[in-house]
Amino acid sequence: MTEKSMALSALVVQHPPQAAQLVLMFHGEFTTARAMLPCAQALAATFPQAMVACIEAPYAAADESRRQWWPETDSVPDEDAWQALVREAMAPFLQTIAYWQKASGVGPEATALVGFGQGATLVLESTQVKPAPASRVMAIAGRFADLPEDDRYRGTIHFLHGKNDATVPYQYTLEAAYHLRDMGMDLTAKVIPLVGHELHPEFVEATVQQLSQHISRHLLIEAGQSAQPPAQQAE
């Protein structure tokens, strides 16, 4: 994608003159950037110094008024084929993040990525890139393509899922949460009853709460270590 197309394919909700944070929203399959507006507007109100933008996926769905993050296939892909589609989508996805970081003047340490469905899969996979493009990711109704094999990501991963989700079953979130916890990574996970595959108002509320209130355990550990008095040398 060219820089011009990246700019035109986004819905900028808030753009302060000197942004202190960057929040990028990535919609789900068969929708558009506008689908993320309720969440984007809530985050903009909570973070007035943040640049907030909803990014439009690059590929048209069968209904050309709707978009998706990887090309339409003739049949439902099996797991291996689906993982390959995700991997191919990562390069332009990361280029898009880099473009908006340059445009906002905000680096990875103050960048948050929020994704739903396909968008959630991409923000989760971004945590396995080195260096990671964001310090916080929020995955709503999505899943990893491949569970992480190491704990390289030093940011925070937030999961939200509806228990009635028939498109991406919530068990994927539970599996990932236990896996990351066992590796000592920083995460939160919330499964909401009676909610399906939709950007439910409870997801919006939980996204605002987690991104505004959660303090990374890695930061707490580092702060505790820096507060310890230096070890005395033996005489």
pLDDT value, residue 77: 80
In a domain, 58, yes or no: yes
* pLDDT on residue 31: 95
Q: Report if residue 192 sits inside a domain.
A: yes
- Above pLDDT 90, what percent of the chain? 80
Q: Which of 63-77, 95-109, 171-185 comes out lowest in average pLDDT?
A: 63-77
pLDDT band at 64 (very low <50, low <70, confident <90, very high): confident
Domain count, the chain: 1
Q: Which of 163, 101, 167, 164 lies closest to 131 in space, CA to CA? A: 101
Question: What b/e readout covers 109-136, taking b as 16+ CB neighbours within 10 angstroms?
Answer: ebbbbbbbbbbbbbbbbbbbeeebbbbb
Residue 232 lies in a domain: no
In a domain, 235, yes or no: no
C-alpha torsion sign, points 110, 172, 201, 31: positive
Residue 9 is predicted with a pLDDT of 77
| Start-to-end C-alpha separation, the chain | 64
Residue 70 has pLDDT above 90, yes or no: yes
- The pLDDT of residue 62 is 80
| Tokens describing residue 30 | 């068969």
pTM, full prediction: 0.91
- Please check whether residue 233 lies inside any domain of the structure: no
DSSP character for 122?
A: H
pLDDT for res 106: 98
Distance from C-alpha of 69 to C-alpha of 120, rounded to nearest angstrom: 11
Whether residue 141 lies inside any domain: the answer is yes
Q: Which domain holds residue 61?
A: 3-227
Structural contact between residues 203 and 171, judged by C-beta atoms closer than 8 angstroms: no
Encode pLDDT of 128-177 as tens digits: 999 999 999 999 999 999 999 988 899 999 999 999 999 999 999 999 99
| Side-chain-side CA neighbours of residue 203 (13 Å) | 31
The CATH code of the domain that includes 195 is 3.40.50.1820
Contact 112, 138 (CB under 8 A): yes
Asked, for residue 234, whether it belongs to a domain, the answer is no
